[in-house]
Chains A and B, each alone.
Chain A
């Protein structure tokens, strides 16, 4: 095994550990009565990705390209056409990509905690692993194993070094559609329009989750070099400074926004937003540029969170401010600041905007269709009683509605 493959293998383990980071972060921010269900959702989506992305998604993402839109080979957990001497490289690559897919899918859960039906969450996770994520991945990285299989955004020169768009923006947009379709948690917005504070059950556990995620990000971005090159330490350093800038900027903005802000939570989402943003361009530019990219995303995070609340959008754990707006900042602002990308600043900026719009549109369309169908057939939420009293582990799909005594037909006809 080459040193490059060994490094990517180790980086894959870093990225897998991010699953634990997400779990701690989300469980700590959720209310105590929902903690177990939040943890179980994080477990189940990894199992789904491990089977569905491995067997189907990887082929759609890295298989032989069909018009730059979708891959069409390398199904069944094989890397197929990779020549024998490169086989170990292909398998290592597959493992690294599996960990990435797991990250994209688990991002969705944080927005929908405390009210989404378990079966619906499983179907949405499956759609992410099978179709939504692999298609975006093909557009941007399809030629990673075979340059002849490049996706259309890759051919245009869209720059997304380690997945700010592919992983984070994709997860965030599916989450945003989910939030809009599933609706807010009961009691989150009062009849007079004010917002009820749902306080974290265990903020230190969430902070530990952020540290684990931050650690994992060293592998997420550092491993995206796909080789043990001299660039790796600098990529990791840019990543780190992006997170630090995000945290500090979010803290200042949250403090300026006023006393109602939860400063600890703002620090956490700021750090993560900074890490997301710098993911787009961690391969280019000075440390100062990485700091500016991270700080901009971090500063935006509490503001975006505030806007969502004013619109009565209940993104429970701040998924869009972290992974959505953070990614957009990194993808759009990053290349001009760092010099990343193959084209001049103006053209590169235009390509980055096209890429962002394409990813957003694809995710809104597919996730929207999936959720509309599920809403009309299955029902997207748990029962109000479960939501009030807490989800123990997995939802009780047979739960009934409230405890009111049934009315007779005559009474109903009179009252309606």
Chain B
């Protein structure tokens, strides 16, 4: 289960919670993913992006 999300900034990274990731607006998330600046983590291990997004989609309330 994904518990953290690492986001690359200019020189380093930020580690945010799943809730903080979900709170970002869709455009920002899309841009970060396009630029490959995001890594999803479960207990410290990397989760492939597709698998992570599928898991997170389950947590996102339907629009």
Given A402-B46, A411-B50, A416-B26, do A119 and B15 touch, yes or no (CB 8 Å)?
Answer: no
Whether the Cβ atoms of B39 and A384 lie closer than 8 Å is: yes
Whether the Cβ atoms of A413 and B30 lie closer than 8 Å is: yes
Q: How many residues of A contact B (CB 8 A)?
A: 36
Q: Which residue of B lies closest to A116 (CB)?
A: B12
Whether the Cβ atoms of A381 and B12 lie closer than 8 Å is: yes
Whether the Cβ atoms of B8 and A401 lie closer than 8 Å is: yes
Q: Which residues of A contact B33 (CB under 8 A)?
A: 407, 412, 416
CB distance from B13 to the nearest CB of A (A): 4
Interface centre among B13, B37, B42, B48 (most CB of A within 10 A): B13
Interface flags for A386-416 (1: CB within 8 Å of B; 0: not) read: 0010000001010011111111010111011
Given A415-B50, A415-B53, A416-B53, do A380 and B36 touch, yes or no (CB 8 Å)?
Answer: no
Interface centre among A119, A403, A412 (most CB of B within 10 A): A412
* In the complex, A183 has a CB within 8 A of chain B: yes
Cross-chain contact of B8 among A186, A187, A375, A400 (Cβ < 8 A) = A400
Whether the Cβ atoms of A183 and B15 lie closer than 8 Å is: yes
Cross-chain contact of B12 among A187, A190, A378, A409 (Cβ < 8 A) = A378
* In the complex, A120 has a CB within 8 A of chain B: yes
* Bound CA–CA A402/B38 (angstroms): 8
* In the complex, A377 has a CB within 8 A of chain B: yes
Interface flags for A340-381 (1: CB within 8 Å of B; 0: not) read: 000000000000000000000000000000000001111111
CB distance from A309 to the nearest CB of B (A): 17
* Bound CA–CA A367/B1 (angstroms): 34
Q: Which residues of B contact A235 (CB under 8 A)?
A: none
Dominant SS at the A interface?
Answer: loop
CB distance from B62 to the nearest CB of A (A): 13
* Bound CA–CA A413/B49 (angstroms): 13
CB distance from A317 to the nearest CB of B (A): 19
* In the complex, B43 has a CB within 8 A of chain A: yes
Whether the Cβ atoms of B12 and A117 lie closer than 8 Å is: yes
Q: Which residues of B contact A409 (CB under 8 A)?
A: 34
* Bound CA–CA A323/B52 (angstroms): 41
Q: Which residues of A contact B7 (CB under 8 A)?
A: 379
CB distance from A21 to the nearest CB of B (A): 29
Cross-chain contact of A384 among B6, B29, B36, B49 (Cβ < 8 A) = B6
Whether the Cβ atoms of B12 and A401 lie closer than 8 Å is: no
* In the complex, A191 has a CB within 8 A of chain B: yes
* In the complex, B23 has a CB within 8 A of chain A: no
Which B1-25 residues have C-beta < 8 A from chain A?
A: 1, 3-4, 6-15
Ordered nearest first, which 5 A-B pairs have the shortest CB separation?
A: A379-B9, A379-B12, A187-B44, A117-B12, A415-B53
**Could you list some 17 contacts between A and B, CB below 8 A?**
A117-B13, A119-B12, A190-B43, A378-B10, A379-B9, A383-B6, A397-B11, A400-B8, A401-B6, A402-B46, A402-B48, A404-B50, A407-B33, A413-B30, A415-B53, A416-B53, A416-B57
Residues of B within 8 A of A (CB): 1, 3-4, 6-15, 26, 29-30, 33-34, 36-46, 48-50, 53-54, 57
Starting from the known contacts A186-B44, A401-B37, 20 additional A-B residue pairs (CB-CB under 8 Å) come to A117-B12, A120-B11, A120-B12, A190-B43, A376-B9, A379-B10, A379-B11, A380-B12, A380-B13, A383-B13, A383-B39, A397-B11, A397-B12, A401-B8, A402-B39, A402-B40, A411-B50, A412-B34, A412-B53, A416-B57
Residues of A within 8 A of B (CB): 117, 119-120, 183, 186-187, 190-191, 375-385, 388, 395, 397, 400-407, 409, 411-413, 415-416
